[in-house]
């Protein structure tokens, strides 16, 4: 069933990109026909030279041979250039589709995949599929044209030579299928091991400070070495079968070549053909035999593409989150939750029978022990998760269930360091179009303007991944400024002041209370100092 779904998806890509596939196919077919014509021209030139035809005729034949060489060279260059352009276009498009699917997937379904594995599926599996579509598939048509054209011409010239060239065909195809199936399973294991290694490296590099702080470099190096060994064994197992396949197919191809060569020499010895015929026979017999041998890597490429597309399909079939309905008037009065229940595992609910009403203009603190569902509640408010029981609605002139559609009504500051590599300005804007004055106002509200101005290039200072170059407290304040700049009716903060000192924290809370005087602030905190400044506290 899974294979059939993968094949259907592959066929859908073939239909989708058929115009792209036609271009290298036409170039390849033209090149194949030229190679057959080149064999005939070379035959005529050599036979003419041996038989002593007029020099003018020989020069004319030589000119045609040179023209065929030039045309084949130009066709090859044009095909490679067009192939590169089309390949990158299709690869980028499919990668964008994958990214879009991941970003629009139901939150928990997407979270089931390790980010390193997702990167492998986008970065390695997509090019495998693209390579099949724009390299292997056109090559299959090219080889088919070369096979048929060579076969027809060879049959017209020498039926026995044609039979010799064809003799190894069935065995070549059978061996291709046999080895191709074995390679497919091994390739799947290689991709799995590569994903595991990529995921480990990504996590380790992101948490290198922690690894060094715990002096765990040696432990992680050993773990990486173990993953590398598993990957190496998987690659070697695939390579072993691949080399065996190449050797067997190569030997069979050489046997067919020797048989063809022997027959050509026999006829030349009996003076029934000329030297030019021998050259043409060998080239044409190769034109019959090589496409059959060439089908082996094409078959392997198809199986690899099917393996990759099955992995891609797991992403493309992710359940999409429900978009829901967005308020048409935008008037906000309150958020109401009634008898909310949510559990990640059936035996241990995170939220159970929780009810609340958060009115416009409220500065609400959410408190409670760790692991009791405070962050989960924010995810419910953002529509990332759905309550398994109970109702959660946004109320204004209309009463709208909280969903992905209402997410744009919130500004959000998550836990931890959530900055991107780039400038401070890019991090604060985060895709918004705001004036310099608005940027400075947001930074000032977040108690960040003073230290940002002291940076080497101010807001245009480049910071590294995860805010390298800033302290944790500074990174938190940049993230808060980013949320404030969005200017939404509801601001959600999840332990947003955990790295701030008491004086900065107090100034930050007062700034936000003043800035959001007519709006709503929901702040998860363990700090009594912040809870004491809230209008109300919800214990979870």
- Per-residue pLDDT tens over the stretch 378-389: 999 999 999 999
Q: Give the residue-averaged pLDDT of 478-491.
A: 91
For 332-539, CATH gives 3.40.50.300
For 2-186+256-316, CATH gives 1.20.1560.10
The mean of the pLDDT values for the chain is 85
- Residue 492 has what pLDDT? 93
Terminal-residue alpha carbon distance, the chain: 45
- Residue 451 has what pLDDT? 92
- Per-residue pLDDT tens over the stretch 416-431: 778 888 899 999 998 8
For residues 470 and 429, what is the distance between their CA atoms, to the nearest angstrom?
Answer: 18
Confidence of residue 1 (pLDDT cuts 50, 70, 90): low
Confidence of residue 213 (pLDDT cuts 50, 70, 90): low
On whether the CB atoms of residues 309 and 132 are closer than 8 A, the answer is: no
Buried/exposed code over 45-62 (b: 16+ C-beta within 10 A; e: otherwise)? bbbbbeeeeeeeeeeebe
On whether the CB atoms of residues 195 and 315 are closer than 8 A, the answer is: no
Q: Pull the structure tokens for residue 162.
A: 């044609």
Name the segment(s) of the chain with CATH classification 3.40.50.300: 332-539
**Residues of the chain with pLDDT > 70: what percent?**
98
- Residue 180 has what pLDDT? 72
Q: Pull the structure tokens for residue 425.
A: 């300005």
Q: Pull the structure tokens for residue 333.
A: 């009065």
Q: Pull the structure tokens for residue 51.
A: 């038989």
For residues 146 and 32, what is the distance between their CA atoms, to the nearest angstrom?
Answer: 5
**CA-to-CA separations, 398 to 329, 330, 336, 394, in angstroms, rounded:** 8, 9, 13, 8
- Per-residue pLDDT tens over the stretch 273-322: 888 888 888 888 888 877 877 777 787 788 788 888 888 888 888 888 88
User: What are the percentages of helix, strand and coil residues in the chain, rounded to 5?
Assistant: 70, 10, 20
- Residue 368 has what pLDDT? 82
Name the segment(s) of the chain with CATH classification 1.20.1560.10: 2-186+256-316
- Residue 491 has what pLDDT? 93
Residue 155 has pLDDT above 60, yes or no: yes
Residue 457 has pLDDT above 90, yes or no: yes
Q: Give the residue-averaged pLDDT of 516-537.
A: 86
**CA-to-CA separations, 57 to 9, 116, 291, 522, in angstroms, rounded:** 55, 66, 33, 92
On whether the CB atoms of residues 185 and 162 are closer than 8 A, the answer is: no
Closest CA relative to residue 448, chosen from 484, 492, 494, 488:
484
Q: In what helix (H) or strand (E) does residue 345 lie, and over which residues does it extend?
A: strand 332-345
For residues 454 and 459, what is the distance between their CA atoms, to the nearest angstrom?
Answer: 9
For residues 214 and 209, what is the distance between their CA atoms, to the nearest angstrom?
Answer: 9
Instruction: Please list the residues that pair with 359 across neighbouring strands.
Output: 334
On whether the CB atoms of residues 76 and 31 are closer than 8 A, the answer is: yes
53-62, 365-374, 420-429 — which one is most confidently predicted on average? Answer: 420-429
Q: Give the residue-averaged pLDDT of 163-178.
A: 76
pTM, two decimal places: 0.76
On whether the CB atoms of residues 200 and 119 are closer than 8 A, the answer is: no
């Amino acid at each position: 069933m899974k294979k059939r779904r993968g094949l259907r998806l592959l066929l859908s890509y073939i239909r989708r990109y058929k115009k792209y596939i036609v271009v290298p196919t036409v170039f390849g077919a033209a090149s194949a026909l030229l190679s057959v014509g080149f064999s005939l021209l070379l035959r005529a030139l050599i036979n003419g030279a041996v038989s002593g035809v007029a020099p003018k005729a020989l020069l004319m034949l030589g000119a045609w041979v040179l023209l065929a060489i030039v045309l084949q060279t130009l066709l090859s260059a044009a095909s490679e250039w067009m192939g590169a352009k089309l390949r990158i276009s299709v690869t980028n498009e499919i990668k964008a589709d994958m990214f879009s699917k991941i970003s629009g997937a139901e939150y928990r379904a997407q979270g089931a995949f390790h980010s390193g594995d997702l990167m492998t599926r986008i970065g390695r599996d997509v090019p495998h599929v693209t390579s099949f579509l724009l390299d292997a598939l056109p090559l299959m048509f090219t080889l088919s044209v070369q096979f048929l054209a060579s076969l027809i011409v060879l049959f017209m010239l020498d039926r026995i030579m044609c039979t010799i060239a064809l003799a190894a065909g069935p065995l070549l195809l059978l061996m291709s299928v046999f080895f191709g199936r074995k390679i497919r399973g091994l390739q799947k294991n290689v991709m799995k091991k590569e994903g595991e290694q990529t995921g480990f490296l990504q996590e380790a590099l992101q948490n290198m400070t922690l690894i060094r702080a715990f002096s765990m470099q040696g432990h992680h190096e050993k773990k990486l070495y173990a993953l590398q060994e598993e990957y190496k064994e998987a690659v070697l197992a695939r390579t072993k079968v691949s080399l065996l396949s190449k050797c067997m197919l190569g030997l069979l191809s050489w046997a067919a070549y020797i048989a063809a060569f022997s027959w050509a020499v026999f006829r030349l010895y009996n003076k029934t053909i000329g030297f030019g015929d021998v050259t043409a026979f060998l080239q044409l017999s190769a034109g019959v035999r090589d496409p059959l041998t060439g089908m082996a890597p094409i078959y392997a490429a198809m199986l690899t593409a099917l393996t990759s597309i099955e992995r891609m399909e797991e992403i493309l079939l992710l359940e999409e989150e429900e978009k829901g309905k967005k308020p048409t008037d935008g008037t906000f009065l309150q958020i109401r939750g009634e008898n909310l229940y949510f559990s990640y595992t059936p035996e241990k609910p995170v939220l159970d029978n929780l009810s609340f009403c958060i009115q416009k203009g409220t500065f609400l603190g959410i408190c409670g022990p760790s692991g009791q569902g405070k962050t989960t509640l924010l995810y419910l408010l953002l529509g990332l998760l759905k309550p398994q029981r109970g109702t959660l609605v946004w109320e204004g002139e209309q009463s709208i269930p909280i969903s992905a559609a209402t997410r744009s009504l919130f500004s959000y500051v998550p836990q931890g360091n959530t900055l991107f590599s780039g400038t401070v300005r890019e991090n604060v804007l985060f895709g918004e179009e705001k004036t310099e004055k608005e940027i400075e106002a947001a930074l000032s509200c977040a108690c960040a303007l003073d230290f940002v101005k002291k940076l080497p290039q101010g807001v245009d200072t480049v910071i590294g991944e995860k805010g390298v170059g800033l302290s944790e407290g500074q990174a938190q304040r940049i993230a808060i400024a980013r949320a404030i700049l969005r200017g939404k009716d509801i601001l959600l903060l999840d332990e947003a002041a955990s790295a701030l000192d008491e004086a900065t924290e107090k100034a930050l809370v007062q700034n936000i209370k003043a800035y959001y005087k007519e709006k709503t602030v929901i702040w998860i905190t363990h700090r009594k100092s912040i809870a004491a400044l809230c209008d109300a506290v919800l214990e979870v």
